[in-house]
Structure 1
Amino acid sequence: MSASRDSMPRRGYRLIMRSVRAHPVPHLVALLGALGFVAATVGTAWLLGWITDNVIIAPESERTGPAAAAAMVIGVSVASGISVLMRRWFLAMAELRTQRDWRRALLHRYIDLPMDFHRERDPGELLAHADSDVNTATMVLKPLAFAVSVVVLVVVTMVALFAAHPLLALIAAIVFPALAVISRVYTRMVEAPSAEVQRRVGEVSEVAHESFDGAVVVKTLGREPIEVERMRAASARLRDERIRVGRMRASFEPSIDALPTVGAIVLLLVGAWLVGRGSATPGDLVLAATLFSLLALPLFIVGFFLEEMPRSVVSLERVDRVLDRPLEPSAEPEGNGPVLPPGPLGLQIDGLAVRYGSRLVLDGLWLAVSPGETVALVGATGSGKSTLLETVAGLNSVAGGSIQLSGAALQDVPSRELHSAVALVFQEAFLFADTVTENVGLQWGRSPADVTAALDSAAAGAFVDALPDGGSTVVGERGVTLSGGQRQRVALARALVRSPRLLMLDDATSAVDPVVEGEILANLRRDLDTTMLVVAHRISTIELADRVAYLAGGRIVATGTHDELLDIDDYRSLVSAYEQAEVP
């Protein structure tokens, strides 16, 4: 049976058991503390009834000393305090550890899922899963031990009330089931609105992330009022849904809160009548009234538990939709896959097909690249050049065909080995808010000399040395303190420091002037023993390649040297446009 068709209590039970199985000790200790509180609660009620009969109204000759009664009250109070501390401390431990586990699982799944997953979703939605959804999913764990112990407390209370008088037990037998029915109705009604609230939270996160991420565009185009209006509208929808849920809570919570109080009033009236008839002692009445009054808070906690369960279940199901996404074979835990041979890698692509949703981007692409060869990829915008490089790097799902690296199928290469052997540098260079050295090294275990050599090969050594703190200069978020060409060169150095055996440049030097680009390409040929695929838009870059592959419509329609491909009209028109674009 699917999760969506299961009853809410069953889905809530599965959520709770996931946490209990992962962290049984904190949950067990918290439950023991909660049961200790139950014992202390019953002990307090019994003690007050005993004090009433044996200290307050007992004849002086039969009266127990007040000091002994006070000592007993202090002892029960200390035990109650210790049990409360145990319950709260260890339940918080279990809740926070569960949040940690689910966030870690989400992070690893985000990393392992192919790029098409991330293209289909806004980053704000993914942030909402890791933040608000995980927090809300564990809210039901906060009162868990207390809620379980209340069941024991209710049973003990029923026994004590029946021992005092069956009429008192009858009152409890009416109140407690009524509470359960009201709570069950509430959980069913609030499930769908709770799911809509969590969806609206993700929507607000998406708008906020887009506005912050595109702050420069927003300010440049003067879109501040429009972005404010987008956030206002998204926040208003979230507010309306939360008010809707709040109205439901306002309708049910007073009933849940009032029932124990009404029951206590009825119990006092009936109990006073029984005492007047001699059917019960004043101590019995004090015991029954105390148990009822002490049950008010625990029953409220149970109500909170039942109220939070739908929101927690819905939030966890949103998280599980990510965790249940199947991984690509190459992203599965590594086994004893084939080891790539040393030296430059060969590349064999046979009938490759790649889709973005329903759109076929690469359609039956064939390409063979020899080890150590440099191939320039040339094609109009949208011809599939970037998609091809991303797929070879293992970032895209393959809809058809195959890719082999020196005879090893791409999906069979362990991911760690693939990341070490293959490097892809994008046109949009992303830098972390860290030093230049850390952005290049990225904790790959490379020495400072390796970082310096990589910067020199990327023609970045001179400008990095000129920075205020050299390689220790912090470049700011996304490298905003550097120019576009400088960011591209640092990103290129980050790829070169790994000594890749297949280097792919996706227009990675587009922001660099032709002179510097020529220097970079010459350095790469001199310093690296590697195979290169280069997306090229400059004639100088195309002419430096050993061979050119011309893409059109998601296929490679021709390969050869630049001079050979000039015989193709479409190719000649395209490179002529490149030449004209280079003319100042």
Structure 2
Amino acid sequence: MRKLMPFARPAIPNVLIAMVMALAASIVSLAIPQVLQRLVDGPLSTGDPSAVPGAVALVAVLGAVEAGLYALRRTYIIGPATGVETRMRRALYAKLQDLPVAFHDRWPSGQLLSRSMSDLSLIRRFIAFGVVYLVVNVITIGIGVVVLLVLNPLLAVIFTVCSIPLWINGFRFEQRYNVVARRSQDQAGDLATLVEESVHGIRVLKAFGRGRTALEQFANRAEELRGTEIEKSRAVAGIWLWLLLVPDVAFALCLLAGVWQASLGNMTVGALVAFFATATVLRFPLESIGFLLSMLFDTRAAVDRLSEVFDSENTVHDPEHPKHLTEARGRLTFEGVRFGYPDTGPDARPLLDGVDLAIEPGETMALVGLTGSGKTTMVELAGRLYDVTGGAVKLDGVDIRDLTRQELRTHIAMAFEDATLFSASVRDNVLLGRPDAGEEALVEALEIAQASFVYDLPEGLDTRIGEEGLSLSGGQRQRLALARAVAANPAVLVLDDPLSALDVDTEALVEAALRRVLTRTTALIVAHRPSTVQLADRVALIEEGRILDVGTHTELLARSDRYRFVISSFDERPQPDRAEVRA
């Protein structure tokens, strides 16, 4: 509850009122046996039927009041409880958006999905029902025991003593169920991850005929989850054994003792009827302890799982006193930049080990190197998807860590080799980085990216792209991603091999259009084709995390054996995308 308090605080008044309503309903239900006692000891024992209709009417009224209070409780609490769930879901999504890429590299998406859906639903149900009745039923049991003591102390002691095994086994249940509940929720998250990967990779699974293998993996994970759920059910069944057995044993012992007491004249028949009616009212609160405890422990595991996300440290954060660039010129510099991914060992060599590179305003710099040399890492550092572990990346002389992330990303736009699109319209995808841009900027960006195919889609620019844009070809997705970066109109344009999925003819058209854009913006381009290199004013050769040489393409060809080797390793053969050609 302490961890939930920041989100649940607005709902506390409603929860307390709901508790009062539920408690009032319980007290009303405990009042009915008192009416029955007076009915049995009064008109039924004397043979006077005149008072019976009034007693029956009173019982009916009390029953109606009890039902009305239960209905009011549900009506009063459901809105605030869903409000808590909504606030937590928004906060979780905002946290996931705020956390650095390094966090998402470590966490499976299925685990995050299960936390944002099933765990939050558990918390909502606990606030709307579990916490209310956990408190109310404990109070009801306490009041009921007092009523039983007033009716007959001996029977009350017998009933109370018989409940001791419930508390002992409840403690054992807590220790066992809490561990199993957490394991079950983690396994459900792993299963969700496997389903998501299989759905996203369905083309690969079908292409390689590995559907049966994927099914076997899923079945094994599902079987593990099934075993855990069975273990949970056994734990719940164990506590329910005591919850059902103990009250019955207590009823039997109290019945024997009650009949004996009545035969001795120590209690009236009406008191005996009232005692058992009260004990019957207490039966649900006693039996509910089982599922309320299981709900409590499920919720505690859910809160712990969510806390793992909320408590995750954001290593890429805004400065306390940010600087501002009123108008960025676009000078991008890497000064002694060092970087190693967090999951690498402390003795591992940094991926970038002292990179120095300066890109002047309006200049286009191509970055070339063999696989694993650190090219993509450099462009990710420029957009501050990661923070450098040494040195600095500067924009117009200002360390990008001294700018807010929002401001930085208005000055720098990126297009990645793996083009990611969202389930939104073409218009919304292209204008993602600059939603207030006009129609002219949108049309220009699509023209530069040679993405005129969008006008032939069923609803043109308003056509909704399917999940991740998989309904489009790879080249079409890349062109829309490039259009998105161009439409942002940044001071610095960072392109991570954005033309790899294009056929040669389309690539030539895009490069020709890009030259117009690159005359008015600074650009850093990761290149894997000589034709892309030729877009650049200068070329930087990177190897093993260091810049070996910088110069024009012609200069490097003339003086650098290593550069000639890297360029010669580029694949010059045309590799047209068949779907792209049809498009």
Asked if Structure 1 and Structure 2 have the same fold, meaning a TM-score greater than 0.5 normalized by the shorter chain, the answer is: yes
Give the counterpart of 1:569 among 554, 561, 570: 561
The aligned counterpart of 2:570 is 578
Give the counterpart of 1:28 among 16, 23, 31: 16
Question: Take 2:77 and 2:134, find their aligned partners in 1: how far apart are those partners?
Answer: 12
1:415 deviation in Å? 2.1
The aligned counterpart of 2:56 is 70
Q: What are the Cα deviations for residues 168-209 of structure 1, in whole angstroms up to 9, with x where unaligned?
A: 221232133332222111111222222221221122112111
Give the counterpart of 1:186 among 157, 170, 173: 173
Question: Take 1:314 and 1:579, find their aligned partners in 2: how far apart are those partners?
Answer: 52
Query: Number of paired residues?
Result: 567
Q: Is 1:47 the equivalent of 2:47?
A: no
Question: Take 2:373 and 2:297, find their aligned partners in 1: how far apart are those partners?
Answer: 48
Mark the CA change 1:432 to 1:149 in structure 2 (over 3 Å): closer, same or farther: same
Q: Is 1:478 the equivalent of 2:468?
A: yes
Question: Take 1:482 and 1:467, find their aligned partners in 2: how far apart are those partners?
Answer: 10
The aligned counterpart of 1:233 is 220
The aligned counterpart of 1:427 is 417
1:556 deviation in Å? 1.5
Spell out the pairing of 1:295-374 with structure 2 (5 A cutoff): 295-330=282-317, 332=318, 337-356=322-341, 357-358=343-344, 360-374=350-364
TM-score (normalised: structure 2)? 0.92
1:527 deviation in Å? 4.1
Spell out the pairing of 1:522-541 with structure 2 (5 A cutoff): 522-527=512-517, 529-541=520-532
The aligned counterpart of 2:98 is 112
Give the counterpart of 2:445 among 454, 459, 463: 454
| Identity among equivalent pairs (%) | 32
The aligned counterpart of 2:268 is 281
The aligned counterpart of 2:503 is 513
Question: Take 1:522 and 1:341, find their aligned partners in 2: how far apart are those partners?
Answer: 31
Checking the alignment, whether the CA contact within 8 Å between 2:352 and 2:545 is kept in structure 1 is yes
1:94 deviation in Å? 4.1
Give the counterpart of 2:161 among 148, 171, 174: 174
Secondary structure of residue in 2 paired with 1:143? helix
AA at the equivalent of 1:417: E
Checking the alignment, whether the CA contact within 8 Å between 1:137 and 1:314 is kept in structure 2 is no
Question: Take 1:302 and 1:429, find their aligned partners in 2: how far apart are those partners?
Answer: 53
Question: Take 1:516 and 1:85, find their aligned partners in 2: how far apart are those partners?
Answer: 66
The aligned counterpart of 2:253 is 266
The aligned counterpart of 2:580 is none
Secondary structure of residue in 1 paired with 2:548? strand
Give the counterpart of 2:70 among 77, 81, 84: 84
Question: Take 2:8 and 2:20, find their aligned partners in 1: how far apart are those partners?
Answer: 14
Mark the CA change 1:185 to 1:17 in structure 2 (over 3 Å): closer, same or farther: farther
AA at the equivalent of 1:40: V
Checking the alignment, whether the CA contact within 8 Å between 1:261 and 1:296 is kept in structure 2 is no
Q: What are the Cα deviations for residues 146-184 of structure 1, in whole angstroms up to 9, with x where unaligned?
A: 221122222222222222221022123213333222211
Question: Take 2:418 and 2:262, find their aligned partners in 1: how far apart are those partners?
Answer: 84
1:58 deviation in Å? 3.3
The aligned counterpart of 1:5 is none
Question: Take 1:367 and 1:221, find their aligned partners in 2: how far apart are those partners?
Answer: 43
The aligned counterpart of 1:96 is 82
Question: Take 1:140 and 1:355, find their aligned partners in 2: how far apart are those partners?
Answer: 43
Checking the alignment, whether the CA contact within 8 Å between 1:260 and 1:295 is kept in structure 2 is no
1:280 deviation in Å? 1.0
Q: Is 1:247 the equivalent of 2:239?
A: no
Give the counterpart of 1:499 among 463, 469, 489: 489
Mark the CA change 1:583 to 1:512 in structure 2 (over 3 Å): closer, same or farther: closer
Secondary structure of residue in 2 paired with 1:315? helix
1:407 deviation in Å? 2.2
Between 75-84 and 47-56, report the one with greater CA deviation: 47-56
Unaligned runs of 5+ in 1: 1-12
Question: Take 1:102 and 1:579, find their aligned partners in 2: how far apart are those partners?
Answer: 50
The aligned counterpart of 2:542 is 551
Checking the alignment, whether the CA contact within 8 Å between 1:114 and 1:397 is kept in structure 2 is no
Mark the CA change 1:149 to 1:208 in structure 2 (over 3 Å): closer, same or farther: same
Give the counterpart of 1:125 among 111, 133, 156: 111
Between 440-449 and 105-114, report the one with greater CA deviation: 440-449
Checking the alignment, whether the CA contact within 8 Å between 2:130 and 2:296 is kept in structure 1 is no
The aligned counterpart of 1:208 is 195
Secondary structure of residue in 1 paired with 2:2? helix
The aligned counterpart of 2:45 is 57
Checking the alignment, whether the CA contact within 8 Å between 1:335 and 1:414 is kept in structure 2 is no
Secondary structure of residue in 1 paired with 2:288? helix
Between 514-523 and 224-233, report the one with greater CA deviation: 514-523
RMSD: 2.2
Mark the CA change 1:57 to 1:78 in structure 2 (over 3 Å): closer, same or farther: same
1:287 deviation in Å? 1.5
Question: Take 1:173 and 1:577, find their aligned partners in 2: how far apart are those partners?
Answer: 84
Checking the alignment, whether the CA contact within 8 Å between 1:518 and 1:541 is kept in structure 2 is no
Checking the alignment, whether the CA contact within 8 Å between 1:440 and 1:490 is kept in structure 2 is yes
Q: What are the Cα deviations for residues 54-77 of structure 1, in whole angstroms up to 9, with x where unaligned?
A: 2322352xx652332233112211
TM-score (normalised: structure 1)? 0.92
Give the counterpart of 2:368 among 355, 363, 378: 378
Q: What are the Cα deviations for residues 489-509 of structure 1, in whole angstroms up to 9, with x where unaligned?
A: 111111222211111110011
